[in-house]
Amino acid sequence: GIGVLAGIFSEQAIEKLSQIASTMLAPGRQKELPATLKKPMIKVVKGSGDNEFDAATTSLTIVGDNFAEKAKVFVDGAPQPTEWKSALQIDVPLAADVAANLATATEIAVVVENPDQQKSGTVKLKRKG
């Protein structure tokens, strides 16, 4: 008796698992599954040099890891336009007001934030020279 019940249960379980797997792995379904993003990590920010800027700096290149396609970049707390290149690089053409502030700034802080609100550590760029 118990062996028969176990056999029936096993077939039902296998059928149910098969249904779940075929639904979850159906074409186009992968895009709907939530992606688990990792915390973004900045290795270096290139302005006029590695982790440096000067008054003529108008863009930054952020090199690191785990950058999501819709990641945001903040310079001194202000969101900046971004050009996502890959999970390893984001280019940042600085907003005009931020670029203008570089003429007098001695240090700026850069943070990357992924769409899930995980933030990188802050990288501080120093004025070159």
Q: What is the pLDDT of residues 57-109, one digit of tens each?
A: 999 999 999 999 999 999 999 999 999 999 999 999 999 999 999 989 999 99
pLDDT at 26: 66
At residue 27 the predicted structure's pLDDT band, cuts being 50, 70 and 90, is low
CA neighbor of 120 nearest in space, from 59, 53, 38: 38
Inform me whether the pLDDT recorded for 6 exceeds 60: no
Tell me the C-alpha distance between 71 and 38, whole Å.
12
Length of the chain: 129
Tell me the C-alpha distance between 60 and 81, whole Å.
11
Per residue in 36-66, pLDDT (tens digit) is 889 999 999 999 999 999 999 999 999 999 9
At residue 32 the predicted structure's pLDDT band, cuts being 50, 70 and 90, is very low
* Residue type at 33 in one-letter notation: L
Tell me which fold the domain 41-127 belongs to. Immunoglobulin-like (2.60.40)
Inform me whether the pLDDT recorded for 120 exceeds 50: yes
Tell me the C-alpha distance between 80 and 59, whole Å.
10
- Residue extents of the structural domains in the chain: 2-32, 41-127
